[in-house]
Amino acid sequence: MATRPSSRAATAARSAILGALVDDHKRVKKAFRDFKKLDTESDTEAAEALVQQVLMELQIHAALEEELLYPAAREALKDTDMLDEAEVEHESAHTLINQLSAMSPGDDKYFARFTVLCEYVLHHVKEEEGEMFPALETAKLDWEALAPQVQTRREELMAVHAPMEDGESMADDEDDEAEMDVAPAAPARKRSAAKSAAKSR
């Protein structure tokens, strides 16, 4: 468990990590609000674009939490019940994400599944921002070590999940071989690097 004293650098690192995750939440909530304004029958293309945007956002966000934040938090928090619940909620969300990823707008209950996914995520976000993040703000966690890991992994995941445009991805400047080394998000996958962030230097 981390025992580093609080510092401006640690506070800045913590704010950067949690702030970016909250920003992820905001983008998903806005996309869902925009989706609800659409007629999925007449605006199918726009609706599908929002679905794909949310799926990408959620896969990146979930991977960062599952691989890095949650394992580090588990080492730093005394009460881990909220983490257990969050991980179970992620598992359920992954099920819907995987189903939607294998479907198209013409498939039965495509948009219904997306609506359920978003409502489920909104509940998860409320608990995370209302309970977990406040608890982490006072946890003895090595935020300075965790911050660069989170940033690097986010960049890797964005390269993998970035939408294609004109036949090229946002990661077209990177070698294909390097991209293949980056594994996509998977449920409840934890990286050992996260545990090192929860240990004292």
200 band by pLDDT with thresholds 50, 70 and 90: very low
3-state helix, strand, coil in the chain (%, to 5): 70, 0, 30
pLDDT at 196 over 50: no
Q: Render pLDDT for 43-63 as a digit per residue (tens, 0 to 9).
A: 999 999 999 999 999 999 999
- The mean predicted confidence, pLDDT, of the chain is 84
- Which domains are present in the chain? 8-162+173-192 (1.20.120)
DSSP string, 172-198: TTS-HHHHHTSPPP-TT---HHHHHHT
Residue 163 has a pLDDT of 63
Spatial distance between the Cα atoms of 197 and 2, rounded to a whole number of angstroms: 8
Residue 161 has a pLDDT of 86
